[in-house]
């Protein structure tokens, strides 16, 4: 991208988003059109648009902005994070190939690999990604992908991105980093050696819990073309209104993330040492086993916090249902704070598998409300 010397906040607001040349509209229009007039057969106008499954100008603006923020040459927007995941895995793997995945992978990612791609003969091994040796031990001659989330969901584990990138390169596998939790504001996986960066833009990038979307980013032009081919072939594209909403959210990503981090730190401080809390999971804590690695590869430590309850599963369920400001719900990364019980909600599908989570665990997506109100709400729910 030509804007690479500009600061992050500037690129979030301007990259891919020049005022409309015809009217001067400052905001990229919502191009609600499925098709485009041609000046003679094959005579496409500026941008080469012919059909909106293939490309749409509102979507192009979002893609240019996302590529600029992640520091990659290319970005492709999708109808959801799972659609992006599906295209990445089906492009990179054939029957008989093998994928290394985190042993606390996002539940939907695990389900797609374990329940859908497995039927097409794609094999997988879940491992603790914070342990480079166990990742190395899981690699087979058929390993095509090492799939990484850092921080992980919901236990906020940290993987060493440069170390895993080097390991993948050594074994000829592609290294994919799902950067949904950290966002490009806090962490730049492509700069650290990732071949491919993936987002659920539903979360912090959109940031307002009003749109579902995904993105796949890479600087490998050949790979990007293959992703684009399958996206166009299978059709999991976002509509122009979704692209507009996501782009609107991205403009404020930097200021939102600073506030998410400020509030998360205050919540962590309040939970730590609370008599009803046994453990707080947050990579910003010096005692977190991944703290040193996180401090090297993240600008700050994000807005996600998990904790376990002394009173076990019953207490965890009571706390999750007992807040007034933290809304009981799945998802994360919006301006409003959310609380959930992973064992019975987001991670219910992992029950009985290697990815099962502790049943006394509560997960918070700390929003950007007044931090004092958030802390008071949690303390009140804990009782
Ligand atoms: C939500 C999420 C996804 C899936 O994205 P959708 O937009 O819900 O399809 C993938 N990875 C992570 C880390 C997520 O939080």
Tally of structural domains, the chain: 2
Q: Are residues 257 and 186 in the same domain?
A: no
* Secondary-structure percent of the chain, ordered helix, strand, coil, rounded to 5: 40, 15, 45
CATH number at residue 98: 3.40.640.10
User: Which of 234, 250, 266 lies at the terminal end of a domain, its last residue?
Assistant: 250
Q: Are residues 219 and 317 in the same domain?
A: no
Catalytic-residue membership of 106: yes
Nearest CA to ligand 1 atom 7: 81
Say yes or no to pLDDT of 32 above 50: yes
Q: Are residues 218 and 268 in the same domain?
A: no
CA proximity to 266, closest of 127, 381, 372? 372
Q: How far is the CA of 107 from the centre of ligand 1 (A)?
A: 9
User: Which protein residues are within 6 Å of ligand 1, measured from CB?
Assistant: 80-82, 106, 108-109, 149, 153, 178, 180-181, 200, 202-203, 212, 214
Q: Identify the active-site residue in 97, 114, 160, 178.
A: 178
Provide the token pair at 152: 């992980």
Q: Are residues 122 and 260 in the same domain?
A: no
Q: Are residues 106 and 199 in the same domain?
A: yes
Which mutation among 80, 186, 202, 333 tests ligand 1's pocket best, with the greatest number of atoms within 8 A of CB? 202
Question: Residues 156-213: pLDDT tens digits?
Answer: 999 999 999 999 999 999 999 999 999 999 999 999 999 999 999 999 999 999 999 9
Q: Are residues 89 and 44 in the same domain?
A: yes
Q: Are residues 277 and 232 in the same domain?
A: no
Atom number in ligand 1 closest to CA 332 = 15
pLDDT at 1: 43
Domain span at 359 = 253-382
Atom number in ligand 1 closest to CA 181 = 13
Q: Average pLDDT of the chain?
A: 96
Question: Residues 274-325: pLDDT tens digits?
Answer: 999 999 999 999 999 999 999 999 999 999 999 999 999 999 999 999 999 9
Q: Are residues 246 and 260 in the same domain?
A: no
Q: Identify the active-site residue in 3, 53, 73, 318.
A: 53
Question: Residues 319-357: pLDDT tens digits?
Answer: 999 999 999 999 999 999 999 999 999 888 778 887 788
Q: Are residues 324 and 181 in the same domain?
A: no
How far CA 343 is from CA of 101, 129, 320, 338, 359, in Å, comes to 20, 21, 12, 16, 5
User: Which of 220, 250, 280 lies at the terminal end of a domain, its last residue?
Assistant: 250
Residue 123: burial class (beta carbons within 10 Å; 0-12, 13-18, 19+): middle
Among residues of the chain, what percentage have pLDDT more than 70? 99
Catalytic-residue membership of 203: yes
Would you say 373 and 263 are in contact if contact means Cβ atoms under 8 Å apart? no
pLDDT at 2: 56
Q: Are residues 76 and 38 in the same domain?
A: yes
Q: Identify the active-site residue in 31, 106, 185, 244.
A: 106
Q: How far is the CA of 41 from the centre of ligand 1 (A)?
A: 41
Q: Are residues 150 and 259 in the same domain?
A: no
Beta bridge partners of 149: 178
User: Which of 250, 268, 288 lies at the terminal end of a domain, its last residue?
Assistant: 250
Which mutation among 81, 197, 216 tests ligand 1's pocket best, with the greatest number of atoms within 8 A of CB? 81
CATH number at residue 345: 3.90.1150.10
pLDDT at 273: 87
Q: Are residues 353 and 210 in the same domain?
A: no
Give the three-class secondary structure for 382: helix
């Amino acid at each position: 991208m030509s804007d690479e010397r500009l600061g992050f906040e500037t690129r979030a607001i301007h990259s891919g988003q020049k005022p409309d040349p015809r009217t001067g509209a400052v905001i990229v229009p919502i191009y609600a059109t499925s098709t485009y007039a041609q000046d003679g057969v094959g005579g496409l106008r500026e941008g080469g648009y012919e059909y909106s499954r293939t490309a749409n100008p509102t979507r192009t603006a979002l893609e240019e902005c996302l590529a600029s923020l992640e520091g990659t040459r290319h970005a492709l927007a999708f109808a959801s994070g799972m659609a992006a995941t599906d295209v990445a895995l089906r492009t990179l793997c054939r029957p008989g190939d093998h994928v290394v995945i985190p042993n606390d992978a996002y539940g939907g990612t695990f389900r797609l690999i374990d329940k859908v791609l497995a039927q097409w003969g794609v094999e997988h091994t879940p491992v603790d990604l914070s342990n480079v040796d166990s990742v190395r031990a899981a690699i087979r001659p058929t390993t095509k992908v090492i799939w990484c989330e850092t921080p992980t969901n919901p236990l906020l584990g940290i993987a060493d991105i440069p170390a895993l990138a080097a390991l993948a390169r050594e074994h000829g596998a592609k290294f994919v980093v799902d950067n949904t939790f950290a966002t490009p504001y806090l962490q730049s996986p492509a700069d650290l050696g990732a071949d491919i960066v993936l987002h659920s833009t539903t979360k912090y990038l959109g940031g307002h819990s009003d749109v579902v979307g995904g993105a796949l980013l890479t600087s490998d032009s050949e790979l990007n073309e293959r992703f684009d081919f399958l996206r166009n072939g299978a059709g999991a594209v976002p509509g122009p209104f979704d692209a507009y909403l996501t782009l609107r959210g991205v403009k404020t990503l930097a200021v939102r993330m600073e506030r998410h981090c400020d509030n998360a730190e205050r919540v962590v401080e309040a939970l730590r040492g609370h008599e009803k809390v046994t453990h707080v999971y947050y990579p910003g804590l010096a005692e977190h086993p991944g703290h040193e690695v996180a401090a090297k590869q993240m600008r700050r430590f994000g807005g996600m916090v998990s904790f376990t309850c002394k009173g076990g599963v019953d207490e965890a369920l009571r706390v999750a249902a007992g807040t007034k400001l933290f809304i009981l719900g799945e998802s994360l990364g919006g301006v409003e704070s959310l609380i959930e019980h992973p064992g019975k909600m987001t991670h219910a599908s992992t029950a009985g598998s290697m990815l099962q989570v502790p049943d006394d665990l509560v997960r918070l997506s700390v929003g950007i409300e007044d931090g004092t109100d958030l802390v008071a709400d949690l303390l009140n729910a804990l009782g």
